[in-house]
A and B are shown apart, each in its own frame.
Chain A
Protein backbone atom coordinates (compact mmCIF):
# COMPACT_ATOMS: atom_id res chain seq x y z
CA UNK A 1 0.00 0.00 0.00
CA UNK A 2 2.13 2.90 -1.27
CA UNK A 3 1.42 6.19 0.47
CA UNK A 4 -0.22 4.44 3.43
CA UNK A 5 1.57 6.40 6.15
CA UNK A 6 1.09 9.75 4.43
CA UNK A 7 -2.56 8.91 4.00
CA UNK A 8 -2.84 7.99 7.69
CA UNK A 9 -1.28 11.28 8.76
CA UNK A 10 -3.73 13.15 6.55
CA UNK A 11 -6.63 11.12 7.98
CA UNK A 12 -5.85 12.51 11.44
CA UNK A 13 -6.98 15.90 10.08
CA UNK A 14 -9.89 14.49 8.07
CA UNK A 15 -12.30 16.95 9.72
CA UNK A 16 -10.06 19.93 8.94
CA UNK A 17 -12.23 21.10 6.06
CA UNK A 18 -15.60 20.00 7.50
CA UNK A 19 -18.45 21.95 5.93
CA UNK A 20 -22.16 21.42 5.29
CA UNK A 21 -21.65 21.07 1.54
CA UNK A 22 -19.36 18.03 1.61
CA UNK A 23 -18.83 17.33 5.33
CA UNK A 24 -15.73 15.04 5.45
CA UNK A 25 -15.54 14.92 1.62
CA UNK A 26 -12.57 17.21 1.01
CA UNK A 27 -10.63 15.72 3.95
CA UNK A 28 -11.22 12.24 2.52
CA UNK A 29 -10.03 13.37 -0.90
CA UNK A 30 -6.87 14.87 0.60
CA UNK A 31 -6.18 11.64 2.50
CA UNK A 32 -6.92 9.48 -0.58
CA UNK A 33 -4.48 11.33 -2.81
CA UNK A 34 -1.23 9.60 -1.68
CA UNK A 35 -2.92 6.18 -1.96
CA UNK A 36 -4.23 6.89 -5.46
CA UNK A 37 -0.83 8.05 -6.75
CA UNK A 38 0.07 4.68 -8.38
CA UNK A 39 -3.15 4.79 -10.40
CA UNK A 40 -1.82 7.86 -12.20
CA UNK A 41 0.75 5.79 -14.14
CA UNK A 42 -1.52 2.78 -14.69
CA UNK A 43 -4.64 4.64 -15.83
CA UNK A 44 -4.43 8.47 -15.80
CA UNK A 45 -8.09 8.97 -16.81
CA UNK A 46 -9.34 6.70 -14.05
CA UNK A 47 -6.97 8.44 -11.62
CA UNK A 48 -8.60 11.81 -12.34
CA UNK A 49 -12.09 10.39 -11.89
CA UNK A 50 -11.06 8.63 -8.68
CA UNK A 51 -9.62 11.82 -7.15
CA UNK A 52 -12.82 13.74 -7.95
CA UNK A 53 -15.00 10.91 -6.55
CA UNK A 54 -12.95 10.76 -3.36
CA UNK A 55 -13.75 14.41 -2.52
CA UNK A 56 -17.51 14.13 -2.87
CA UNK A 57 -19.98 14.37 0.02
CA UNK A 58 -19.09 11.97 2.81
CA UNK A 59 -19.70 11.76 6.52
CA UNK A 60 -18.95 9.26 9.27
CA UNK A 61 -17.11 9.06 12.57
CA UNK A 62 -13.60 10.41 11.82
CA UNK A 63 -11.90 7.55 13.66
CA UNK A 64 -13.40 4.94 11.34
CA UNK A 65 -13.07 6.97 8.13
CA UNK A 66 -10.04 4.83 7.18
CA UNK A 67 -12.32 1.83 6.54
CA UNK A 68 -14.18 3.79 3.86
CA UNK A 69 -11.01 5.31 2.48
CA UNK A 70 -9.20 1.95 2.20
CA UNK A 71 -12.20 0.17 0.70
CA UNK A 72 -12.94 2.80 -1.94
CA UNK A 73 -9.27 3.15 -2.96
CA UNK A 74 -9.03 -0.62 -3.35
CA UNK A 75 -12.20 -0.58 -5.45
CA UNK A 76 -10.69 2.14 -7.67
CA UNK A 77 -7.60 -0.03 -8.28
CA UNK A 78 -9.84 -3.00 -9.07
CA UNK A 79 -11.67 -0.86 -11.69
CA UNK A 80 -15.07 -1.27 -10.05
CA UNK A 81 -17.60 0.93 -11.93
CA UNK A 82 -17.60 4.50 -10.63
CA UNK A 83 -21.35 4.55 -9.88
CA UNK A 84 -20.94 1.50 -7.65
CA UNK A 85 -18.07 3.13 -5.74
CA UNK A 86 -20.26 6.20 -5.20
CA UNK A 87 -22.98 3.94 -3.77
CA UNK A 88 -20.40 2.20 -1.56
CA UNK A 89 -19.34 5.57 -0.13
CA UNK A 90 -22.95 6.56 0.55
CA UNK A 91 -23.78 3.23 2.19
CA UNK A 92 -20.62 3.30 4.35
CA UNK A 93 -21.65 6.60 5.96
CA UNK A 94 -24.36 4.65 7.81
CA UNK A 95 -22.51 1.95 9.79
CA UNK A 96 -19.27 3.94 10.15
CA UNK A 97 -21.26 6.83 11.61
CA UNK A 98 -23.45 4.74 13.89
CA UNK A 99 -20.80 2.27 15.11
CA UNK A 100 -18.07 4.90 15.37
CA UNK A 101 -20.21 7.35 17.34
CA UNK A 102 -21.34 4.64 19.76
CA UNK A 103 -17.79 3.34 20.14
CA UNK A 104 -16.04 6.69 20.58
CA UNK A 105 -18.41 9.56 21.49
CA UNK A 106 -20.87 7.51 23.56
CA UNK A 107 -18.40 4.83 24.71
CA UNK A 108 -14.66 5.31 24.90
CA UNK A 109 -14.63 9.07 25.55
CA UNK A 110 -17.04 9.06 28.55
CA UNK A 111 -15.47 5.81 29.86
CA UNK A 112 -11.96 7.27 29.84
CA UNK A 113 -13.03 10.70 31.10
CA UNK A 114 -14.97 9.02 33.92
CA UNK A 115 -11.96 6.88 34.80
CA UNK A 116 -9.68 9.93 34.72
CA UNK A 117 -11.98 11.88 37.06
CA UNK A 118 -12.08 8.91 39.44
CA UNK A 119 -8.28 8.75 39.27
CA UNK A 120 -7.92 12.48 39.93
CA UNK A 121 -10.29 12.39 42.92
CA UNK A 122 -8.51 9.36 44.39
CA UNK A 123 -5.20 11.23 44.34
CA UNK A 124 -3.58 10.51 40.97
CA UNK A 125 -3.93 14.23 40.07
CA UNK A 126 -2.47 15.31 36.74
CA UNK A 127 -1.22 11.78 36.05
CA UNK A 128 -4.86 10.76 35.56
CA UNK A 129 -5.33 13.49 32.92
CA UNK A 130 -2.06 12.54 31.18
CA UNK A 131 -3.13 8.89 31.20
CA UNK A 132 -6.49 9.81 29.66
CA UNK A 133 -4.86 11.75 26.81
CA UNK A 134 -2.24 9.07 26.14
CA UNK A 135 -4.65 6.16 26.22
CA UNK A 136 -7.35 7.85 24.15
CA UNK A 137 -4.93 8.89 21.42
CA UNK A 138 -3.26 5.47 21.41
CA UNK A 139 -6.64 3.80 20.78
CA UNK A 140 -7.58 6.43 18.19
CA UNK A 141 -4.36 6.07 16.22
CA UNK A 142 -4.32 2.28 16.57
CA UNK A 143 -7.89 2.16 15.27
CA UNK A 144 -6.92 4.47 12.40
CA UNK A 145 -4.07 2.17 11.29
CA UNK A 146 -6.30 -0.91 11.61
CA UNK A 147 -9.18 0.79 9.75
CA UNK A 148 -7.15 1.84 6.72
CA UNK A 149 -5.51 -1.60 6.41
CA UNK A 150 -8.77 -3.50 6.89
CA UNK A 151 -10.59 -1.29 4.42
CA UNK A 152 -7.86 -1.69 1.81
CA UNK A 153 -7.73 -5.48 2.26
CA UNK A 154 -11.51 -5.82 1.98
CA UNK A 155 -12.42 -3.47 -0.89
CA UNK A 156 -16.02 -4.13 -1.97
CA UNK A 157 -16.30 -6.90 0.68
CA UNK A 158 -16.12 -4.27 3.43
CA UNK A 159 -19.54 -5.09 4.95
CA UNK A 160 -18.39 -8.56 6.01
CA UNK A 161 -15.04 -7.20 7.20
CA UNK A 162 -16.78 -4.72 9.52
CA UNK A 163 -19.45 -7.07 10.88
CA UNK A 164 -16.84 -9.80 11.50
CA UNK A 165 -14.38 -7.44 13.18
CA UNK A 166 -13.95 -6.42 16.83
CA UNK A 167 -15.97 -3.23 16.29
CA UNK A 168 -19.56 -4.52 16.83
CA UNK A 169 -18.48 -6.51 19.91
CA UNK A 170 -16.63 -3.52 21.36
CA UNK A 171 -19.69 -1.32 20.79
CA UNK A 172 -21.82 -3.75 22.82
CA UNK A 173 -19.38 -3.81 25.72
CA UNK A 174 -18.23 -0.21 25.92
CA UNK A 175 -21.68 1.27 26.72
CA UNK A 176 -22.08 -0.30 30.20
CA UNK A 177 -18.41 0.44 30.97
CA UNK A 178 -18.96 4.11 30.09
CA UNK A 179 -22.12 4.24 32.22
CA UNK A 180 -20.33 2.70 35.20
CA UNK A 181 -17.29 4.99 34.87
CA UNK A 182 -19.35 8.18 34.59
CA UNK A 183 -21.70 7.12 37.40
CA UNK A 184 -18.79 6.43 39.74
CA UNK A 185 -17.07 9.66 38.70
CA UNK A 186 -20.17 11.78 39.43
CA UNK A 187 -20.59 10.34 42.93
CA UNK A 188 -16.90 10.58 43.84
CA UNK A 189 -16.33 14.04 42.37
CA UNK A 190 -19.53 15.39 44.01
CA UNK A 191 -18.24 14.18 47.39
CA UNK A 192 -14.84 15.70 46.63
CA UNK A 193 -16.25 19.11 45.65
CA UNK A 194 -18.61 19.26 48.62
CA UNK A 195 -15.94 18.45 51.19
CA UNK A 196 -15.81 21.37 53.56
CA UNK A 197 -19.17 22.83 52.48
CA UNK A 198 -21.13 20.91 55.09
CA UNK A 199 -24.78 19.97 54.98
CA UNK A 200 -25.99 23.24 53.44
CA UNK A 201 -23.69 22.76 50.43
CA UNK A 202 -24.78 19.14 50.01
CA UNK A 203 -28.46 20.14 50.17
CA UNK A 204 -27.87 22.89 47.55
CA UNK A 205 -26.12 20.45 45.21
CA UNK A 206 -28.95 17.96 45.67
CA UNK A 207 -31.50 20.68 44.84
CA UNK A 208 -29.66 21.59 41.61
CA UNK A 209 -29.45 17.91 40.64
CA UNK A 210 -33.17 17.38 41.36
CA UNK A 211 -34.09 20.50 39.32
CA UNK A 212 -31.93 19.21 36.46
CA UNK A 213 -33.63 15.80 36.51
CA UNK A 214 -37.09 17.41 36.66
CA UNK A 215 -36.63 19.92 33.82
CA UNK A 216 -34.99 17.29 31.63
CA UNK A 217 -38.03 15.08 32.16
CA UNK A 218 -40.53 17.87 31.41
CA UNK A 219 -38.76 19.72 28.63
CA UNK A 220 -37.10 16.68 27.08
CA UNK A 221 -34.50 17.13 24.37
CA UNK A 222 -35.04 20.91 24.06
CA UNK A 223 -33.38 21.40 27.44
CA UNK A 224 -29.73 20.77 26.69
CA UNK A 225 -26.88 20.51 29.20
CA UNK A 226 -25.62 23.93 28.16
CA UNK A 227 -29.02 25.56 28.73
CA UNK A 228 -29.31 23.88 32.14
CA UNK A 229 -25.81 25.02 33.12
CA UNK A 230 -26.68 28.59 32.06
CA UNK A 231 -29.89 28.45 34.09
CA UNK A 232 -28.01 27.11 37.12
CA UNK A 233 -25.38 29.89 36.84
CA UNK A 234 -28.15 32.49 36.48
CA UNK A 235 -29.96 31.16 39.55
CA UNK A 236 -26.76 31.12 41.62
CA UNK A 237 -25.95 34.71 40.58
CA UNK A 238 -29.52 35.71 41.55
CA UNK A 239 -29.25 34.03 44.97
CA UNK A 240 -25.93 35.79 45.63
CA UNK A 241 -27.42 39.10 44.55
CA UNK A 242 -30.37 38.82 46.92
CA UNK A 243 -27.92 37.73 49.62
CA UNK A 244 -29.05 34.15 50.20
Chain B
Protein backbone atom coordinates (compact mmCIF):
# COMPACT_ATOMS: atom_id res chain seq x y z
CA UNK B 1 0.00 0.00 0.00
CA UNK B 2 1.47 3.34 -1.02
CA UNK B 3 -0.74 5.78 0.86
CA UNK B 4 -0.08 4.79 4.43
CA UNK B 5 -1.84 7.51 6.42
CA UNK B 6 -4.60 10.09 5.79
CA UNK B 7 -4.40 12.63 8.59
CA UNK B 8 -6.38 15.73 9.57
CA UNK B 9 -4.13 18.10 11.53
CA UNK B 10 -4.63 21.86 11.58
CA UNK B 11 -0.98 22.37 12.54
CA UNK B 12 -0.16 20.71 9.19
CA UNK B 13 3.53 19.73 9.10
CA UNK B 14 5.09 19.52 12.56
CA UNK B 15 7.10 17.18 14.76
CA UNK B 16 4.29 14.65 15.37
CA UNK B 17 3.83 14.24 11.63
CA UNK B 18 7.46 14.20 10.47
CA UNK B 19 9.08 12.32 13.37
CA UNK B 20 6.12 10.78 15.25
CA UNK B 21 4.46 9.10 12.25
CA UNK B 22 7.01 9.66 9.48
CA UNK B 23 9.78 7.56 11.04
CA UNK B 24 7.87 4.43 12.16
CA UNK B 25 5.82 4.35 8.95
CA UNK B 26 8.84 5.02 6.72
CA UNK B 27 7.15 7.94 4.98
CA UNK B 28 9.05 9.42 2.02
CA UNK B 29 6.34 11.70 0.63
CA UNK B 30 4.01 14.13 2.41
CA UNK B 31 1.17 15.49 0.28
CA UNK B 32 -0.23 18.59 1.94
CA UNK B 33 -3.70 19.19 0.54
CA UNK B 34 -4.86 22.74 1.23
CA UNK B 35 -6.26 25.11 -1.39
CA UNK B 36 -4.83 28.20 0.31
CA UNK B 37 -1.34 26.82 0.98
CA UNK B 38 -1.22 25.48 -2.60
CA UNK B 39 -1.60 29.08 -3.82
CA UNK B 40 0.90 30.65 -1.41
CA UNK B 41 4.62 30.23 -2.05
CA UNK B 42 5.75 31.89 1.21
CA UNK B 43 3.68 29.44 3.24
CA UNK B 44 5.14 26.54 1.26
CA UNK B 45 8.66 27.83 2.00
CA UNK B 46 7.89 27.77 5.74
CA UNK B 47 6.37 24.27 5.73
CA UNK B 48 9.22 22.87 3.63
CA UNK B 49 11.74 24.01 6.26
CA UNK B 50 10.10 21.73 8.85
CA UNK B 51 10.72 18.50 6.91
CA UNK B 52 13.81 16.33 7.16
CA UNK B 53 15.91 15.99 3.96
CA UNK B 54 14.77 12.40 3.17
CA UNK B 55 11.11 13.36 2.81
CA UNK B 56 9.58 15.14 -0.19
CA UNK B 57 6.65 17.52 0.31
CA UNK B 58 4.08 18.31 -2.37
CA UNK B 59 1.48 21.04 -2.04
CA UNK B 60 -1.80 20.45 -3.85
CA UNK B 61 -5.32 21.75 -4.14
CA UNK B 62 -8.18 19.41 -3.27
CA UNK B 63 -8.99 18.98 -6.97
CA UNK B 64 -5.37 18.15 -7.93
CA UNK B 65 -4.99 15.66 -5.10
CA UNK B 66 -8.31 13.95 -5.87
CA UNK B 67 -7.23 13.46 -9.47
CA UNK B 68 -3.74 12.14 -8.69
CA UNK B 69 -4.44 9.94 -5.71
CA UNK B 70 -4.83 6.74 -7.70
CA UNK B 71 -1.35 7.27 -9.12
CA UNK B 72 0.31 7.55 -5.66
CA UNK B 73 -1.58 4.50 -4.48
CA UNK B 74 -0.14 2.54 -7.40
CA UNK B 75 3.52 3.55 -7.13
CA UNK B 76 5.94 2.31 -4.52
CA UNK B 77 6.42 5.49 -2.47
CA UNK B 78 5.06 5.63 1.05
CA UNK B 79 2.88 8.70 1.18
CA UNK B 80 1.11 10.58 3.95
CA UNK B 81 -1.91 12.67 2.95
CA UNK B 82 -2.32 15.67 5.21
CA UNK B 83 -5.20 18.14 5.39
CA UNK B 84 -5.74 21.03 7.77
CA UNK B 85 -9.52 20.67 8.00
CA UNK B 86 -12.30 18.11 7.95
CA UNK B 87 -13.96 19.48 4.80
CA UNK B 88 -10.89 18.84 2.66
CA UNK B 89 -10.52 15.28 3.95
CA UNK B 90 -14.24 14.66 3.39
CA UNK B 91 -13.84 15.89 -0.20
CA UNK B 92 -10.84 13.57 -0.75
CA UNK B 93 -12.87 10.67 0.65
CA UNK B 94 -15.77 11.49 -1.66
CA UNK B 95 -13.42 11.48 -4.65
CA UNK B 96 -11.57 8.25 -3.71
CA UNK B 97 -13.54 6.32 -1.05
CA UNK B 98 -11.42 3.18 -1.28
CA UNK B 99 -8.05 4.97 -1.00
CA UNK B 100 -9.10 7.47 1.69
CA UNK B 101 -10.77 4.78 3.75
CA UNK B 102 -9.10 5.11 7.15
CA UNK B 103 -8.99 8.70 8.39
CA UNK B 104 -6.78 9.73 11.28
CA UNK B 105 -7.79 12.76 13.37
CA UNK B 106 -4.42 13.97 14.60
CA UNK B 107 -5.09 17.50 15.74
CA UNK B 108 -8.02 19.88 15.50
CA UNK B 109 -7.52 22.69 17.96
CA UNK B 110 -9.56 25.20 19.86
CA UNK B 111 -11.74 27.73 18.10
CA UNK B 112 -14.85 29.50 19.45
CA UNK B 113 -17.75 27.02 19.45
CA UNK B 114 -15.57 23.92 19.60
CA UNK B 115 -15.62 21.66 22.65
CA UNK B 116 -12.72 19.57 23.97
CA UNK B 117 -13.17 15.88 23.05
CA UNK B 118 -9.52 14.93 23.59
CA UNK B 119 -6.59 17.18 24.56
CA UNK B 120 -5.67 17.47 20.88
CA UNK B 121 -9.18 17.35 19.46
CA UNK B 122 -11.73 20.16 19.72
CA UNK B 123 -14.90 19.78 17.66
CA UNK B 124 -18.23 21.57 17.35
CA UNK B 125 -21.30 19.33 17.49
CA UNK B 126 -21.78 20.03 13.80
CA UNK B 127 -18.25 18.82 13.02
CA UNK B 128 -18.86 15.65 15.00
CA UNK B 129 -22.05 15.05 13.00
CA UNK B 130 -20.04 15.58 9.81
CA UNK B 131 -17.61 12.86 10.93
CA UNK B 132 -20.45 10.47 11.80
CA UNK B 133 -21.87 11.06 8.31
CA UNK B 134 -18.42 10.33 6.87
CA UNK B 135 -18.40 6.97 8.66
CA UNK B 136 -21.92 6.29 7.40
CA UNK B 137 -20.52 6.71 3.88
CA UNK B 138 -17.95 3.99 4.56
CA UNK B 139 -14.92 5.76 6.02
CA UNK B 140 -13.26 4.55 9.21
CA UNK B 141 -12.58 7.61 11.39
CA UNK B 142 -10.39 7.38 14.49
CA UNK B 143 -8.42 9.83 16.62
CA UNK B 144 -4.76 9.26 17.49
CA UNK B 145 -2.13 11.98 17.78
CA UNK B 146 0.91 9.66 17.85
CA UNK B 147 1.46 5.97 17.02
CA UNK B 148 2.27 5.31 20.69
CA UNK B 149 -0.95 6.84 22.06
CA UNK B 150 -4.30 5.05 22.25
CA UNK B 151 -6.56 4.84 19.22
CA UNK B 152 -9.94 6.45 19.98
CA UNK B 153 -13.04 5.57 18.01
CA UNK B 154 -15.52 8.16 16.84
CA UNK B 155 -18.19 6.76 19.17
CA UNK B 156 -16.01 7.48 22.19
CA UNK B 157 -15.73 11.16 21.20
CA UNK B 158 -19.44 12.02 21.41
Which residues of A pack against B, CB within 8 Å? Answer: 20-22, 57, 59, 87, 90-95, 97-99, 101, 156-160, 162-163, 168, 220-222
Whether A97 contacts B50 by the Cβ 8 Å rule is yes
* Given A87-B36, A221-B148, also A94-B11 (CB < 8 A): yes
Residues of B within 8 A of A158 (CB): 46
Whether A221 contacts B45 by the Cβ 8 Å rule is no
Residues of B within 8 A of A157 (CB): 42
Residues of A within 8 A of B51 (CB): 98
Whether A99 contacts B12 by the Cβ 8 Å rule is no
Expressed in whole angstroms, the Cα–Cα distance for A21 and B111 within the complex equals: 9
Whether A93 contacts B11 by the Cβ 8 Å rule is yes
Could you say which of B13-21, B87-95, B133-141 contacts chain A? B13-21
Whether A94 contacts B46 by the Cβ 8 Å rule is yes
Q: Sorted from nearest, which 4 A-B pairs have the closest CB atoms?
A: A95-B49, A94-B50, A98-B50, A159-B45
Distance from B85 Cβ to chain A, minimum over Cβ atoms (Å): 12
Whether B47 contacts A94 by the Cβ 8 Å rule is yes
The reply to whether the CB of B43 lies closer than 8 angstroms to some CB of chain A is yes
| Count of interface residues, chain B, beta-carbon cutoff 8 Å | 28
B143-154 interface code vs A (CB 8 A; 1 in, 0 out) = 000011000000
Whether B148 contacts A159 by the Cβ 8 Å rule is no
8 Å CB interface, B16-52 against A: 18, 24, 36-37, 40, 42-43, 45-47, 49-51
Whether A101 contacts B49 by the Cβ 8 Å rule is no
CB-CB nearest in chain A for B13 = A94
Distance from A107 Cβ to chain B, minimum over Cβ atoms (Å): 14
Whether B45 contacts A160 by the Cβ 8 Å rule is yes
Expressed in whole angstroms, the Cα–Cα distance for A221 and B16 within the complex equals: 13
The reply to whether the CB of B116 lies closer than 8 angstroms to some CB of chain A is yes
Distance from A92 Cβ to chain B, minimum over Cβ atoms (Å): 6
Residues of A within 8 A of B129 (CB): none
Whether B12 contacts A159 by the Cβ 8 Å rule is no
CB-CB nearest in chain B for A84 = B40
Q: Which of A92, A95, A168 has the most CB of B within 10 A?
A: A95
Whether B148 contacts A222 by the Cβ 8 Å rule is yes
- Of B18, B43, B119, B148, the contact of A91 (CB 8 Å cutoff): B43
